[in-house]
Structure 1
Amino acid sequence: MAHQARFKALVDWLHSAITPQEGFTLAYNAEASDFIRFNHAKVRQAGHVQQASLTFKLIENGRHADLSLTLSGDEAVDRERLSDALQHLRGTLPLLPPDPYLLLNDQVWQSTHVQERPLPASEQVVERIAQLGEGLDLVGIYAAGPIYRGFASDNGAFGWHQANSFNFDWSLFHANGQAVKANYAGDEWSDEAFAKRFALARDQLAFLGQPSHALAPGQYRAYLAPAALEEIMGMLCWGGFSAQSLADKRSPLQRLYDGQATLSPLVSLNEQVTGSLSPAFSGEGYPRSDLALVVEGAARDRLVDSRSAAEYGLTANGAGGGESPGALSLSGGSLLQDDVLKALGTGLYISNLWYLNFSDRTAGRITGMTRFATFWVEDGKIKGPVDTMRFDDSIFSLLGDALEQLTQERELSLSTSTYSQRQTDSSLLPGALVSKLTLTL
């Protein structure tokens, strides 16, 4: 039985099993994924994971309790597991107080999205990786296959999402221990696009063998590649657009949303659900739509889950419990990728950042380390690698007055997290040329 039919059968049974006083929400999560681990450009481990689970919420008189259960794929067995879960939650609810911030979506909605664009056979991908990586110390993980998400509630709301995707996360190591980190991900594999991405990493690897360039602390002109910019955006997703964090005055973008500061007019950020690999509904049962978070440097929408909506009198817009973007998109600019080094002139080419944290959260200050392929560039030419250094700078500078250009080309990044299951979170980002980045040590 197909995943959607399997889920629908369990929903139908639950409708018949609950009492008129009871309500429920049911969220379905499943995947059928190939995982292939590489070392020295050869397959060292390969496996296939097929799993499905439910998150079941029972509601009665303002009380609610949740329970997660693993599904077997056998309809009778799974129905029995759901029945046991129902009895368990019925015994739990009387022990709980009513939840003052429980805000259920009582609208009846239907949403179905099935993307079945075929992916290449994993054997074909392995062969391509082996060809391009021959003779290199390549390590990485390739994950691919369909991901399924479903939602249903007692009032008749029903959502289904199904999409194929792949994610190859790899590094090329130099004999001196340094490395170039790279990623290629999406829902449509292209040998040409992968070869181009691989060639960039291989070219950067050659520069790692040159003598390193020592830099003193100070401010430097810099280019942040999409992967480096993704780390900065990831920090902003820690409450930056969250209605809860903004109401509590803990958002790193507090000054932006309070109208005390702006970003560069080049910056337009969206929660771009349409066309992404994320479902068009939340696990709470609210439809998700595209949101304009920042428009030409000015704050616009914020992410609101049901609890924030109840607490602050807002309208829920499908945000998850952490009120973090699930399909973040930054509009591109006019700088062509082939012209990046020329436009940079003299300064830092930063491929990756890591170990980021807030140095002053409410002021929007971020600190972190350069990582792997960071190069010193003079007159538009790479001179050599730069040793790892710490930066500390304000998002209102990096994406504000210091931002000169964004690249026209953008890079899609899918979450590499596989804790419990593969994720659907994504970001679509350009590279950023900034006039100054502060290195502290």
Structure 2
Amino acid sequence: MKTLERSNFDALADAVCAAAKPGERSSLLLKAEASDFIRFNRAAVRQATQVEQAHATVALTQGQRRAEGRVTLTGQLDADVATLRRELDTLRALLPDVAEDPWLLLPEAPARSERHEHGALPSAAQVVGCVSEAARGLDFVGFHAAGPVLRAFADSQGTRHWHHVESFHTEWCLYHAADKAVKSSYAGSQWRDAEFARRVAEGAQRLALIAKPPRQLAPGEYRAWLAPAAMAELLATLGWGGFGLKARRTGTSTLMRLAHRDAALSPQFNLFEHSAQGSAPGFTAEGFARPARVGLIERGLATGTLANARSAREYGAPANGANAEEMPESLSLQPGTLAEGQAMQSLGTGLSVSNLWYLNYSDRQACRMTGMTRFACLWVENGEPVAPIGVMRFDDSFLRMFGEGLVGLSDRAELIADGDTYAERRLASTSTPGALIQGWRLTL
């Protein structure tokens, strides 16, 4: 695909940047992908397609006025260059009518970065063969997306960023009956048939357990093992309003008690925005380079925020590559010391929680969250899963769960990729271990 080639981007960037007139600043943000998509039902292919697409956002800035537009690219260089130049002319005509933006901030010094991550991706035929073999006799319902994704940026000041990664994301359920299913996922850049088969087999073992009559639990406090997928849901909710500089300065952050040192998490809890580890690009849509790592919570204490350019300008703080929403894109919770393979033994008697959903805040100022258990959540006795549980709602403070309630974190983190493919494949991810907590509060 031409729009994924470096030479094509360089030619488009040169055309956009050369079009800037004295006193103007022009920029180009390119997003492109060539993705395979496959949907499965009963371990058979129900839909298979490939999408090749590229979009460019061009921006023109003069003083404190800025206008931008988004166009679809064809891969035909001459035609795309003409389209971008026409868009710049349109923006130039609009600029005099655009109000000055007091919080507009763009990079002062030109910067360059490059990441080109080659993956070992399976062909569509290989994925179909793996599913057919590993899920034989199972009601396997799933979705697979794979292929190269490009993010690139250039501006007339000399900034050039290039981010090209090859990755896959596969998630599936092994369905039993009614609302009973086991959900699993596999994501990364290096596909291995054996690892995929292992995960399917592991889910099949749990499928036998959820066929048993469910254990009905009374509301109350329980010892619980939260699998990485459940942890990713909790951390995603925390990222919604927890880490942004603007939310902190306006007092609306859900972590205000932590920021004011009115509360503390366990010293085991170390959370970072780790751009060097994730799949998201190391630069923003405005061309700011992102640090390799930003400390958010270290040894249980709030240590940093995510600051985008506008908040940095408004509050006189340095920008650190946050997106417009000041939400994390490469969140990483550091592993602990609990042996992952001994999770059930460490739990003893209590709940093994594979997935959570419908999460929201029940009290934002107290960082109190609520949500529902989902899929194969099991009752465990003396380290042995014995029965599924009925669907339950939890309502508990994140500060309590991972403060006094945190027993330990597992010794291995799992990459949980953002599976959103609406309009385009996302590159956000969360790396997290599982967690053992006590006193987890179920309300109904």
With structure 1 as the length reference, what TM-score do the two structures score?
A: 0.98
For 1:236, the equivalent position in structure 2 comes to 238
For 1:80, the equivalent position in structure 2 comes to 82
Distance 2:18 2:325 in 1: 33
For 1:397, the equivalent position in structure 2 comes to 400
| Alignment partner of 1:412 out of 406, 412, 415 | 415
For 1:295, the equivalent position in structure 2 comes to 298
**1:382 aligned to 2:385?**
yes
Secondary structure in structure 1 of the residue aligned to 2:441: strand
For residues 40-189 of structure 1, what are the structure 2 equivalents within 5 Å?
40-189=42-191
Distance 2:218 2:261 in 1: 36
For 1:205, the equivalent position in structure 2 comes to 207
Residues 8-35 of structure 1 deviation map (CA, whole Å, 9 limit, x = unaligned): 1111112222211211221110101000
Residues 355-385 of structure 1 deviation map (CA, whole Å, 9 limit, x = unaligned): 0000011210000001111111111111111
For 2:36, the equivalent position in structure 1 comes to 34
Answer whether contact 1:212 1:387 (CA < 8 A) is retained.
yes
Distance 1:346 1:433 in 2: 12
Q: Pairwise CA RMSD of aligned residues?
A: 1.1
Alpha-carbon offset, residue 153 of structure 1: 1.2
Distance 1:103 1:408 in 2: 41
Residues 223-255 of structure 1 deviation map (CA, whole Å, 9 limit, x = unaligned): 100000111000011021110111111111111
For residues 283-322 of structure 1, what are the structure 2 equivalents within 5 Å?
283-289=285-291, 290-322=293-325
Answer whether contact 1:249 1:362 (CA < 8 A) is retained.
no
Which amino acid is the alignment partner of residue 420 of structure 2?
S
Residues 151-184 of structure 1 deviation map (CA, whole Å, 9 limit, x = unaligned): 1111000100001000001111003441111111
Distance 1:163 1:74 in 2: 23
| Alignment partner of 2:217 out of 205, 215, 218 | 215
Residues 414-439 of structure 1 deviation map (CA, whole Å, 9 limit, x = unaligned): 11011110011011110000011101
Q: How many residues align?
A: 441
| Alignment partner of 1:438 out of 433, 437, 441 | 441
Secondary structure in structure 1 of the residue aligned to 2:358: strand
Distance 2:389 2:439 in 1: 16
For 1:425, the equivalent position in structure 2 comes to 428
Instruction: Between 394-403 and 183-192, report the one with greater CA deviation.
Output: 183-192
Secondary structure in structure 1 of the residue aligned to 2:433: strand
Distance 1:25 1:250 in 2: 33
Which amino acid is the alignment partner of residue 91 of structure 1?
A
Q: Which aligned segments of 4 or more residues in structure 1 are displaced greater than 3 angstroms?
A: none
Distance 1:270 1:386 in 2: 33
Distance 1:439 1:25 in 2: 51
Secondary structure in structure 2 of the residue aligned to 1:362: coil
Alpha-carbon offset, residue 126 of structure 1: 1.6
Which amino acid is the alignment partner of residue 404 of structure 1?
V
Which amino acid is the alignment partner of residue 366 of structure 2?
A
Which amino acid is the alignment partner of residue 60 of structure 1?
Q
Residues 100-119 of structure 1 deviation map (CA, whole Å, 9 limit, x = unaligned): 00011121111011011331
Secondary structure in structure 2 of the residue aligned to 1:174: strand
Which amino acid is the alignment partner of residue 370 of structure 2?
T
Residues 200-226 of structure 1 deviation map (CA, whole Å, 9 limit, x = unaligned): 211111111101101111111111000
Answer whether contact 2:407 2:436 (CA < 8 A) is retained.
yes
| Alignment partner of 1:249 out of 241, 248, 251 | 251
% identical aligned pairs: 44
Answer whether contact 1:56 1:68 (CA < 8 A) is retained.
yes
Which amino acid is the alignment partner of residue 260 of structure 1?
D
Which amino acid is the alignment partner of residue 352 of structure 1?
N
Answer whether contact 1:284 1:320 (CA < 8 A) is retained.
no
Answer whether contact 2:335 2:413 (CA < 8 A) is retained.
yes
Answer whether contact 1:330 1:428 (CA < 8 A) is retained.
yes
**1:344 aligned to 2:364?**
no
For 1:192, the equivalent position in structure 2 comes to 194
Distance 1:94 1:193 in 2: 58
For 2:335, the equivalent position in structure 1 comes to 332
Answer whether contact 1:176 1:209 (CA < 8 A) is retained.
no
Residues 73-130 of structure 1 deviation map (CA, whole Å, 9 limit, x = unaligned): 0011111111121121112111111000001112111101101133122211221111
Distance 1:262 1:196 in 2: 39
Distance 1:122 1:31 in 2: 16
Q: Structure 1 unaligned runs (5+)? A: none
Which amino acid is the alignment partner of residue 424 of structure 1?
L
